[in-house]
Amino acid sequence: MTEIEVGLISVGLILVLIYSGLYIPVALGLVSFLGVWLLRGDIEVPIYLLSLAAADTIAEPTFAVVPLFALMGLLISEAGVGRDIYDVSNFIFRRLKGGLGIATVVANAIFASITGSSIASASVFTKVSIPEMKRFGYNPRFTVGVVAGSSVLGMLIPPSVMLILYAIITEQSVGHMFIAGVIPGILLSVAFGVAILTMATFFPKLVMDETAEPIEVVDKPSLNGLQILRMVLPILLLVGIVLGGIYTGWFTATEAGAAGAMGALIVAVFKKRLNLKGLWKVLIETGHITASILLLLIAASMYSRMLGIAGLPTIFSEWIQAQALGFAAIMVIYVVVLILMGTILDTVSIILIIVPLFLPILEPMGIHLVWFGIVTVIGAEIGLLTPPLGVSCFVIHSSLNDPDISLSDIFKGAFPFALIMLAVLILIILFPSLSLVFI
């Protein structure tokens, strides 16, 4: 069996194992270990490479950003900040058609700027905004679609865990990745808001449930300026500390994560929504998230080394070049592969598997790796909304626990938002300056 055959079989086997339900780091590590063993014929080589991958991957202080930002997001979620943001957004956009939907997008965007996690956003706003929208007569399919669509903002708006992972894999600056995600994140949020307003104006049946029984609603008292300030001030302070510190150069990304985690702890204690039991739960969950991400990175490092030994990236690059394809054609192929992979894999797996294959092809073309990271994250995000493995849709379904709303309803409701994401992705590919303007 030739090296290229081993490489191709290993990639296919990884996809089969992941799709069969095997834990992703185990699939990557196991197949990579066996692949190196077959390629070199000596079991000591994969053992050495595995130990080297573990040591090199997580020995850098940069990896401290992972638990710090995870801790910050969980503390903010535990403090109930998501509900405060939603209440303020709801009050501001209450007079617009589809106002609750726009409020959900805005609240998700703000919440994402603190948590950096689409899963956290999907979980929080499933419980906060869906009951409210249903109470006001919104179409159930639209309500879950809005939450699913806007939850992906957590992967793009800094501080994003996906941007951190991409920066680590490609040896880019985490701060530059954060800066590059700001304009695309705002652009995507605005596009979602405009789409909701358009649907509510011209296609009201898609937004409102005309068959719903009238429900007597007791409106919440209006919020005054002081109340709004009290509700949003913690968020503004945390955003200022984390992103402001990074952008001004006062903090490294790791230091900003530490400052943000401390700030989030102060906010949670000040709001009196965090007890010792809740703090212990947050710490345990932070440990689980950190361990799973670092294990995944170790396995991905082993996978990249196996691909290098097999020579697959070089051969793949030479094959693409032999086809005489231009930059535009290669980017079309890349985006299509990202979306197709998104139908069966989660975002992290997509980035770890696809980037090492396409990067050797695109780097000689003079692409900016920070821009390429934004394109990759947005393309992979679309997979969060596509069946059969749309992670955000599954999180919403499990958190909602409503027999009247099926998983199919969530996927159908999220479909328009996936199309909007694709349009924004094309726009960023055509105009790279949208992500590089501040770099």
| Residue in the structure block whose two tokens are 């996978």 | 303
Chain-centroid distance, C-alpha 179: 16
Q: Give the residues across from 208 on adjacent strands.
A: 138
**Cβ-based neighbours of 231, under 8 Å, separated by 6 or more:** 84, 85, 87, 88, 223
* Three-state secondary structure of 150-178: HHHHHHCCCCCHHHHHHHHHHCCCHHHHH
- Taking residues 16-33, what's their average pLDDT? 79
Q: Are 206 and 182 in contact (CB under 8 A)?
A: no
- Taking alpha carbons only, the member of 383, 389, 369 closest to residue 422 is 383
208 backbone dihedrals φ, ψ, rounded to 5°: -105, 145
Residue 141 Cα distances to 91, 124, 367, 438, angstroms? 23, 18, 40, 38
Confidence of residue 339 (pLDDT cuts 50, 70, 90): confident
User: 115-158: per-residue pLDDT in tens?
Assistant: 666 766 777 788 778 887 887 888 989 999 999 888 888 788 87
Q: Is the pLDDT of residue 219 over 60?
A: no
In the three-class reduction of DSSP (H, G, I as helix; E, B as strand; rest coil), residue 208 is classed as strand
pLDDT digits (tens, 9 = 90+) for 29-67: 888 888 888 888 888 888 888 887 777 767 767 677 778
Q: How far is 208 from 340, CA to CA, in rounded Å?
A: 32
At residue 64, the pLDDT reads 76
Residue 218 clears pLDDT 50, i.e. is over it: no
Averaged over 311-335, what is the pLDDT? 81
Looking at residue 429, its pLDDT comes to 94
State how far the Cα of 331 lies from the Cα of 326, in Å rounded to an integer: 9
| pLDDT band with cut points at 50, 70 and 90 for residue 306 | confident
